[in-house]
Amino acid sequence: MNQVALLLAATLGAGTPLAIGSLGLLVNERSGVLNLGAEGVMLVSAVTGFAAAYHSGNEWIAFLAGAAAGAALAAVFGWLVIWLNTNQYATGLAVSLFGAGFSAFVGTGYVGRKLESGGEHSVPLLRDLPFVGTALFRQHPMVYLAMALAGAAAFFLYRTRAGLVLRSVGESPESAHALGYPVRRIRLAAVMVGGALCGLSGAYLSVVYAPLWVEGMVAGRGWIALALTVFATWRPARVLLGAYLFGGVTMLQLHLQAQGVQLPPQFMSMTPYVATIVVLVLISRNPLWIRVNMPASLGKPFFPGS
């Protein structure tokens, strides 16, 4: 039983960076902009966060720095895509590639450096509850922040006026424009929020999860976060669920190996990616369902006054 609890706990930790990044992308995509550069943004913020943690010794400063870096890179992307109307896919890819190179370059001085250890985080009293204590209450605060963010995102999108405006921009920017809303600024804001959250996720990876910097350490999590938003049909609660599922697959695979289960490790490592494809297929095959759930203007450029 204890093993299951430990596996659950590990799953929560592994799923958190995916959840935070994906929530950011969700807000981003709700405005109609698809940012394929998530991986690059996460990498740049991971190195920024690590550098900030290294020099300041404080992980919250690191998270802030990571979020700021992510927002900044996303703003560049946003400017190119929203004001200069460059192709969203190509620009996003450019961000990914640039982010990978830039983070490696900036990070060369930080490889092999150590951060002050944070020690074990847990919620006092609740941590000692049987099963639940181990599974849920011995986590870094960021894990709980991810859950809170999901709730906040849901509240924002469906219970506030601003959220309604955002969603309408995503569904039909032309109508929103006709109603007088500053569509481009709203999109930029959404893109920057997306970047900030991806940044937070990247900083969490390099400062808390595996407190090291190495180039490429995001290892495809940015792309999985993108897939997650589709998996979750752009709803925050489902994003959370999906993130834990994906985190769980990775941890389960390692867990089974440690148990002595004999499958070639490469096939076990494939499972998160194959699972993403399967999910994509299942979700996409009903065109009506996708249209109901997907922001209609996703990926399409907007020209005010055209």
Residue 109 binds another protein, judged by CB under 8 A: yes
Tell me which of 55, 58, 60, 87 binds another protein, using CB under 8 A: 87
Q: Could you give the 3-state DSSP secondary structure of residue 34?
A: coil
Tell me which of 15, 49, 70, 99 binds another protein, using CB under 8 A: 99
CA 241 – CA 199 distance, rounded (Å):
21
Minimum distance, C-beta of residue 60 to another protein, in the bound complex (Å):
18
Question: Taking a C-beta distance cutoff of 8 angstroms, is the pair 109, 48 a contact?
Answer: no
List C-alpha distances in Å: 13 to 211, 215, 245, 277: 14, 21, 12, 23
Q: Closer CB to another protein, residue 124 or residue 264?
A: 264
Using CB under 8 A, which residues numbered 232 to 251 contact another protein? 250-251
Q: Closer CB to another protein, residue 205 or residue 240?
A: 205
Question: Taking a C-beta distance cutoff of 8 angstroms, is the pair 67, 197 a contact?
Answer: yes
Residue 54 binds another protein, judged by CB under 8 A: no
Residue 203 binds another protein, judged by CB under 8 A: no
Residue 175 binds another protein, judged by CB under 8 A: no
In sequence order, which residues have a C-beta less than 8 Å from that of residue 44 and are 6 or more positions away? 69, 70, 73, 99, 102, 103, 106, 199, 202
Tell me which of 75, 98, 147, 241 binds another protein, using CB under 8 A: 98
Residue 100 binds another protein, judged by CB under 8 A: yes
Tell me which of 111, 148, 162, 237 binds another protein, using CB under 8 A: 111
Tell me which of 53, 65, 94, 135 binds another protein, using CB under 8 A: 94
Minimum distance, C-beta of residue 291 to another protein, in the bound complex (Å):
10
Residue 170 binds another protein, judged by CB under 8 A: no
The tokens describing 242, both together, are 């999906």
The tokens describing 69, both together, are 């870096």
Q: Among candidates 202, 196, 189, which has minimal Cα distance to 102?
A: 202
Using CB under 8 A, which residues numbered 266 to 285 contact another protein? 266-267, 269-270, 273-274, 276-277, 280-281, 284-285
CA 222 – CA 200 distance, rounded (Å):
12
